[in-house]
Amino acid sequence: MDNLIYLLIIILGLTGFGIALNIRWKKSEQKPMVCPLNMKCEQVLFSKYAKFLGIPLELLGLFYYGIISLSYFIFLFYPSLKNPLFVFSIFIISAFGFLFSVYLVSLQAFKLKEWCSWCLMSAGISTTSFLLALHIQSISATLASLASTYQAEIIFIYSLATSVGLGLALTLEVLFLRFLKDFRISNEESGVLHILRQMTWLGLGIMIVSNYALYLMDPSIMSTSPRFFIKIAILVILTLTSLIYDLFISSKLVDIYSDEINRQHVADKYLRNAPFLFGPVALISWFAIFILEMTQDVGLSIFQLSFLYFMGLLTAIIVGGVLNIKILKRA
């Protein structure tokens, strides 16, 4: 059964590689993109969201699908090379591919409001590959054993992602307030904020995958741990608020802050206030995860930890509101 799944993933990987290669070739040769199903591929493939951290998505696709295809080819035809760490690494890459696909489809649905059939096919391929990998018996057994073997390394990676995420969240807030000193956000300044937010998404992805690995170490203990439960809850809140901000708010701020600060449209008022709500929520959430990770179990219940977190959120939101009022008064 495992060999059949290996073969299916190889076929899917080669198909995805072909899609990414076709997109790259069309872009390089400046040829028109023929989009099946009458969708608007060019609006998606040439948007500012067609890059992640400055790297074209099709290049990331070539790398991802190339690695997946080659690795599962080795698993199928050269099983002696299939050591546990290799298997674990490829599964992690597949998990990242799945999460990234969800992010990209969300951008098409809510941000661009345009669809690219090639992109949807690629997302379907990466999602199917990941779901198939979950059903490989040898991988399931390997993941549990490796999670325990490399516990220290996983905790280190998780702690590093938490620290970097907190630093990025703080940097985002500082830069946003600095850019707003002249009551304008230029395209260049928006680009800087956009890159930083993409880096926070990378950190979030690492944290999600790391938590899954930590859960595999001992599901019975983790599922009853208040600290682990509240970390997962905060991660969910952080992910959802980040999605809402990125999909519905961030791109509109340039337009709003390029106009007069005293525009009275109700929608603009809500959008002006949004960064002073979502920013503090993200900052306090990253800080809470950081504190939970860096401190030992203090014996608090889920209710007590939740109360402390929501009190922190309330305080951060109040501070954000005060800053917002001061900035508007200065304007």
What are the extents of the domains in the chain? Answer: 2-148, 150-330
Superfamily name and number for 2-148: VKOR domain (1.20.1440.130)
Prediction pTM value? 0.76
The β-bridge partners of 55 are 52
Q: Which of 62, 108, 75, 60 is nearest to 9 (CA)?
A: 75
Q: Which residues contact 279 (CB under 8 A, 6 or more apart)?
A: 172, 173, 176, 320
Q: Are 212 and 91 in contact (CB under 8 A)?
A: no
Q: Are 53 and 199 in contact (CB under 8 A)?
A: yes
Q: Where are the beta strands (DSSP E) in 106-231?
A: none
Q: What are 317's two structure tokens?
A: 């939101």
Q: Which residues contact 58 (CB under 8 A, 6 or more apart)?
A: 20, 21, 23, 24, 27, 45
In tens digits, the chain (331 residues) has pLDDT values of 778 888 999 999 999 999 999 888 888 877 777 777 777 777 888 888 888 888 888 999 999 999 999 999 998 888 887 777 787 788 888 888 998 898 888 888 887 888 888 888 999 999 999 888 887 766 666 666 666 677 777 778 888 888 888 898 889 888 887 877 766 777 787 788 888 888 888 888 888 888 877 777 677 767 777 888 888 899 999 988 888 888 777 767 666 665 544 444 444 556 677 788 888 888 999 999 888 877 766 677 788 888 889 999 999 889 888 887 777 666 5
Task: Give dist(CA 297, CA 167) in Å, integer.
Answer: 24
